A and B are shown apart, each in its own frame.
Chain A
Amino acid sequence: MGKHLERDRGLSYRSYESGMWAWILQRGTGVILVGYLFLHLALLSAATAPGRPGAALNRVLAVFRNPLVLYLDLVLIAVVLLHAFNGIRLIVLDLGYGFLRQKGLFLGAMAFSGVLLLGAAWRLLA
């Protein structure tokens, strides 16, 4: 029998509820952050290469004062905050609390991230 494995036909995201969105968010931000971690290491490694210490790193750091890069930086901080507070939600559930308040936990995690992001935006862009 020719096996036809049903997997991707008809994305059903319209019916996703908070738990599913939280999972997608945690996966997505996690993968982005691993990618960024290696980019970060590679850039720093290149910038601090022996022979031209200081000058190169200062040039890289100067890039971070560019307004456009500041906005990108803010996106990164948003990703970190979402992953961090959604992660706290997962640990709370793992400890056995909050199953009856799952959606509230998720919304709380989102709200915390939002508030801290606003704080970071105010500090970075002001």
Chain B
Amino acid sequence: MSFGSWLWQRITAVLLFFFLGLHLVLEHFSAGSAAPTFAWIVARLQHPVFLVVDVLFLAVVLFHGLNGLGSVILDLGMPPRYGRSLSAGLWLLGAASFVLGLDIILPLAGYPAWFYW
């Protein structure tokens, strides 16, 4: 949680401006009505550009969110000696969420699902 964390928070912020803008416009304002249909989402994800954009969006939004959360926790007064554990925990949570997110996106794009519940 230092310069790197500060800098990447800003880089991902700028990226999110575009990703989230695109996401909102696509899912809310272009699908013909307020909410898209399953078929519409599946059709969109068949295009590799949209697939790549969605996967990148997932990674970037998770980094920005969890990095921000870490910052809030540090500002609440977590002693610096726990900084590494906090960082490791957040990376772990982020990685798990990323895998979970991939398991949502990839099956919709036609790839087999990894988890069956």
Residue in chain B with minimal CB distance to A31: B72
Per-residue interface assignment for chain B, residues 58 to 81, with 1 indicating a CB less than 8 Å from any chain A CB and 0 otherwise:
000110011011001000000000
Choose one: A33, A37, A61, A65; the contact of B38 (CB below 8 Å): A61
Contacts known (A34-B65, A41-B101); A61 close to B35, Cβ less than 8 A: yes
Cβ contact within 8 Å between A27 and B72: yes
Interface size on A, residues (CB 8 A): 34
Task: Give the chain A neighbours of B13 by CB distance below 8 A.
Answer: 87, 91
Cβ contact within 8 Å between B62 and A37: yes
SS class, residues of chain A in contact with chain B: helix
Cβ contact within 8 Å between B104 and A91: no
Per-residue interface assignment for chain B, residues 83 to 117, with 1 indicating a CB less than 8 Å from any chain A CB and 0 otherwise:
00000000000000100110110011000010011
Residue in chain A with minimal CB distance to B20: A80
Interface size on B, residues (CB 8 A): 34
Contacts known (A31-B72, A49-B117); A41 close to B20, Cβ less than 8 A: no
Task: Give the chain A neighbours of B20 by CB distance below 8 A.
Answer: 80, 84
List residues of B whose CB falls within 8 A of some A CB.
Answer: 10, 13-14, 16-17, 20, 24, 28-29, 33-39, 41, 61-62, 65-66, 68-69, 72, 97, 100-101, 103-104, 107-108, 113, 116-117
Task: Give the chain A neighbours of B10 by CB distance below 8 A.
Answer: 91, 94
Q: Give the interface segment out of A8-16, A52-60, A102-110.
A: A52-60
Per-residue interface assignment for chain A, residues 77 to 116, with 1 indicating a CB less than 8 Å from any chain B CB and 0 otherwise:
1001000100110010010000000000000000000000
User: A115 → chain B, closest Cβ, in Å?
Assistant: 15
- Check if A2 is an interface residue, CB within 8 A of chain B: no
- Check if A70 is an interface residue, CB within 8 A of chain B: yes
Given A53-B38, A57-B38, 18 extra CB contacts under 8 A: A30-B65, A30-B68, A30-B69, A37-B65, A38-B97, A45-B100, A45-B103, A48-B104, A49-B116, A53-B107, A58-B38, A61-B35, A64-B34, A73-B34, A80-B24, A84-B16, A88-B17, A91-B13
